[in-house]
Structure 1
Amino acid sequence: MSTIIGSSSRHSRGLHRTCTAAVSFVRKSHLKHWAAFRLVCRRALFTVLALESSADDTCAAVVTSSRQILSNVVVKQHDLHEGFGGIHPTVAIEAHQRNMPGAVRRALENAKLTMQDIDGIAFTRGPGIGGCLSVGSNAAKCLAAALNKPLIGVHHMQAHALTPLLTAPADRIPEFPFITLLISGGHTLLLLATSQTSFDVLATTADESVGRSFDKVARLLGLSWGTRGPGAALEDFCRRDIASVPDVGSFPVPMAGKLAFSYSCLHSSIERYLAGTQGPLTEGHRVALARAFQDAAARQLCEKLTLGLERLSLRNINPRHVVVSGGVASNLFLRTRLRAALDVYSPDVRIELVFPPLELCTDNAVMIGWAAMHRFTSGDYDDYSIDLRAKWDISTISDANSCASRA
């Protein structure tokens, strides 16, 4: 499946062509002259081809420094993994290997560009599944080295956090410092973002992520993944119009008063409830459990977000924006609950709640290209031998970038 968002204007495309000859000359002389050339040609677009393969989506996109998304290709693997109940690493790696060449080809075709028009290549360096990351990494490195293009490896969660800086209207772009809630199948993080590369971890999960909990409960309730995955299937299931829905009570929020998430206990509560139930569940009973789970999952996020804001306020830090991103950010029920929680916390001064477009909440290469853009345009890029980081603390991005950058 592929999606195309936006298009380049005739004027900006003309600016790009204006520097083509000069680009070729500079690249033939030496890559280190690239930064100097960018200063001379500051008004021209910088165009990035980005690759993402950290989990089970094979992604390629083309993004420009003028906040244009020229193409966005996402190839899903849900049908390959549903039988395993989760991502099977070997299956995912093999699918990435099959899909990546075609994804890159379509991203360029949709953008109506060739590799000659690409100024830099970005890829997901981590965190993620090591073998999956290696597919995007190897593709990006080979393209960059063969074509003498600058290369940058990007932190996956940093890219999620910075997406609204690309997609929000110019008058509503989040201002630093802002809170960012990163919620996906691999992460549940509450962060204070003070710059594009500086993130302080306020809370994380000691066990499983909120996204993984959604996936496991969807499986426990026997839901089909559909085309959007198990988490989205559970959200859709909660909206079913059922005449008779029993009262199954509510599930508590763990670690009250502590800045920490725990979703394995919520998933286990559903598991224990089902184990103690006699006979098969009616559809109404399954809907009731799905709704109770979704409510408890949202309540935990809201309570920890509010607690994080309170703790920051004690330090005289009062962010005016909350950015929510990652696959779970596409859940519309959760969006409504978070808005209500912020209104209760700050009724007099509105805290803006910012989400990427739904199609950019889940993994994509658009966010990877954009997260690399500030480094590309300042001439700060990585060596072709840059290593992967399957585990990568987001608070160490600046240090990792310094080690990987060219002298």
Structure 2
Amino acid sequence: MKKKNLIILGIDTSCDDTCAAIIKNNTVLSNIVRTQQIHKKFGGVVPELASILHLKHIVYVVKNAILKAKITTNAINAIAFTKFPGLIGSLLVGSAFAKSLAMCWKIPLISVNHIQAHILANFLEGVHSTNPNFPFISLSISGGHTNIIKVKDFLEMKILGSSNDISLGNLFDNIAKVLGFQYPWGRIIEKYAQLGNSKKFCFNKPKVKNLNFSFSGLQTKLLYFLKKKIKNNSEFVSQNINDICASFQDTVFEILFDKLNKTVQKTGIKNIVVSGGISSNIGLQKFFSEKSIENNWKTFFPKSEFSTDNAAMIALVGKLKYERNLFDKFYD
């Protein structure tokens, strides 16, 4: 179903950010994110509390997305929402609200895969001067997932590799906690790594078959390394924090590159799209930019505002599915 000016309301409540956005075709008219700061008190996201706060914030967020877009509700052609993956309670809030709103306004309802949306965020207008060409390989990295995905078209994707244990985001969080950092951990290791020597300490890379990852082994090795060093010098972490973070990050980047390089050799595809929250890491972007030049790859990173959880990417997938008449039933 093609429309000249297709307007979609996107809603995302996959974790602890309540998000709503309006897009017109591929152009973002508004992108509202309400972060739940209260989780700092608990040192991590509390799922039950996240659900309650989504209930509290979702009307405000959707209303402000519509107001900022300067449209009327009658102009909205469909509502897209995150169906999975994510925290089940948080997802239920978003899906129930989206279904109720779509029924009230008598417009189509469209469910969206959160990981797919992260990948396709690279196609929002203004993110790149030239969009990635199909097919491409997506490295999807965030707190909830670590995947290598072959993308043949907007809605045709195949997972080639994934983590056998914890996600890359979990690894960063766990190491940050061990180093004594406070929640939220996302940017802290990156911040210290920028000031350190990435070659100061050597951490062995785990050997994993095929295109899969394993990060629990690296986590264990780093923990034993720190335990041994602290036993001899109680101030070791504070004295070497920059170099520890830089060396850890560099090891992770090498692991990601090794797997991507194998993927390129296996598929012959040299277009690389990095997505998910960790794609906003400045060190990662610099590392892969250099590797891309060396290996003649074309590598794309989304803007920071579209790399972390947001509803603009959900609305974009909604628009693509609307054009293909891929709608949901209200009672599924």
SS at match of 2:51: helix
Q: CA deviation at 1:222?
A: 1.5
Provide the residue aligned with 2:279 in structure 1: 329
Provide the residue aligned with 2:27 in structure 1: 68
TM-score, structure 1 as length reference? 0.77
Q: Deviations over 1:12-44 (max 9, x none)?
A: xxxxxxxxxxxxxxxxxxxxxxx5xx5xxx33x
- Say if 1:213 and 1:117 are closer, same or farther in 2 by CA, change over 3 A: same
Relative contact order, CA 8 A, sep 6+: which one is greater? 2
Q: Is the 8 A contact 1:246 1:284 kept in 2?
A: no
Question: Which structure 2 segments of 5+ residues have no match?
Answer: none
TM-score, structure 2 as length reference? 0.93
Mapped partners of 2:113, 2:77: distance in 1: 20
The alignment-based identity, stated in percent, is: 32
Q: CA deviation at 1:288?
A: 2.0
Mapped partners of 1:296, 1:171: distance in 2: 31
Q: Is the 8 A contact 1:254 1:262 kept in 2?
A: yes
Q: Is the 8 A contact 1:266 1:293 kept in 2?
A: no
TM-align CA RMSD: 2.0
How many equivalent pairs are there? Answer: 329
- Say if 1:373 and 1:247 are closer, same or farther in 2 by CA, change over 3 A: closer
Provide the residue aligned with 1:172 in structure 2: 130
Structure 1 residue ranges (4+ consecutive) displaced by more than 6 angstroms after TM superposition? none
Q: Is the 8 A contact 1:306 1:341 kept in 2?
A: no
> Match for 2:18: what amino acid?
T
Structure whose residues are more often strand by fraction: 2
Mapped partners of 1:170, 1:92: distance in 2: 33
The partner residue of 2:174 within 216, 223, 232 is: 216
Mapped partners of 1:208, 1:259: distance in 2: 15
SS at match of 1:296: helix
Where in structure 2 are the equivalents of 1:325-404 lying within 5 Å? 325-344=275-294, 346=295, 350-386=296-332
Mapped partners of 2:198, 2:293: distance in 1: 31
Q: Deviations over 1:188-243 (max 9, x none)?
A: 00011011122121110000111111111111111234xxx3121211122247xx
> Match for 1:336: what amino acid?
K
SS at match of 2:253: helix
> Match for 1:250: what amino acid?
C
State whether structure 2 residue 266 is matched by structure 1 residue 311: yes
SS at match of 2:153: coil
Q: CA deviation at 1:369?
A: 0.4
Larger radius of gyration: 1
SS at match of 1:298: helix
Q: Is the 8 A contact 2:200 2:243 kept in 1?
A: yes
> Match for 1:203: what amino acid?
G
Mapped partners of 1:209, 1:246: distance in 2: 22
